[in-house]
Structure 1
């Protein structure tokens, strides 16, 4: 599996910002109140980021050679996939939160809007999830193999 590229993360964040802006415009032009992220959203984002780091620690220990117990390879693969999904989801939600915040501030001209802090906390929580995903993805990377060791083992098999 390839590592998550920064270009993909920026592209997904821009797509999230476009979605968030269009969501706010559609809601307010239809006469509905604008979207305010609930406290459960940013709370869950922080909890997910923390949980992902906890799940990645045994894999990191295994890769570094300091594990006391073996780790199931399927568990390691699932942690890696979860880390990649978390980084992409975090990037999407960072863009969404930035658009929500930008829309709230530009419409009122003040930072004292009720949506300011929920939007900021959602953005920080999403950024934490994205960073946790990238860190755990880096932890799950296998160290490079020694070429001489690989050639020696292939000659022994002949």
Structure 2
């Protein structure tokens, strides 16, 4: 069994930069055609925060189960939650960067934008950061406690094989 590595923060930063670039391109394309700036709907940041909350609830449930009965954890559930947390980091970075790109395009204007224009953009940036942070916390909670699958030297125990798949067929 291979040790699961943490998400690379440079990848998250690169995704946020791509989101910001897309936000800038969208705003510049709209302004070059004489359209009003794109103002995201308020349901977008609300949805991002809702996903972050659901992710935290599932993460807390797994963390409590790890502390109570570490051997009784369904590894498939833990892996699914880990993958969801990593996807949440990417989505949070992408939307947060997109909102930042939308906001950045407003800074070069000679006429200040109204609050109805920039507040939803700021909320998207904040909601993306919330989702990114919650997903990083849940990813940390999905780590296997030390000593569960290691021998006395700290390496993986060769005597321990994978879990019997028959246990999970009946679920």
TM-score grouping bracket, smaller chain normalisation: 0.7 to 0.9
User: Is 1:42 aligned to residue 55 of structure 2?
Assistant: no
Match of 1:74 among 71, 76, 89: 76
- Aligned partner (choices 28, 36, 42) of residue 33 of structure 1: 36
Q: TM-score, normalised by structure 2?
A: 0.79
How far has the Cα of 1:3 moved from its partner? Answer: 1.4
Partner of 1:127: 129
Structure 1 residue 68, shift from structure 2 partner = 9.7
Write the deviation string for residues 50-94 of structure 1: whole angstroms up to 9, x where unpaired.
11000111221233x225994432221111111000001111111
Equivalent pairs counted in the alignment come to: 154
Distance 1:143 1:67, change over 3 A: closer
| Kept after mapping to 2: 8 A contact 1:58/1:71 | no
Structure 2, unmatched stretches of 5+, are 160-171
Name the SS of the counterpart of 1:31 in structure 2.
coil
Name the structure with the higher helix share: 1
Change (3 A) 1:154 1:125: closer
d(CA) in 2 for partners of 1:129, 1:150: 34
Aligned to 1:9: 12
Give deviations 1:6-55, integer Å, cap 9, x for gaps. Answer: 11111111111111100111122123332111010011011111110001
Distance 2:77 2:96 in 1: 28
Structure 1 residues 80, 103: CA separation in 2 closer, same or farther (over 3 Å shift)? Answer: same
**1:107 maps to which residue?**
109
Query: How far apart, in 2, do the equivalents of 1:8 and 1:109 lie?
Result: 36
- 1:147 aligned to 2:162? no
Which runs of at least 4 in structure 1 moved beyond 6 Å after TM superposition?
none
Local SS of the residue matching 1:50:
helix
RMSD: 2.6
Decide whether the 8 Å contact of 2:37 with 2:117 is kept in 1. Answer: no
Q: Which deviates more, 24-33 or 129-138?
A: 24-33
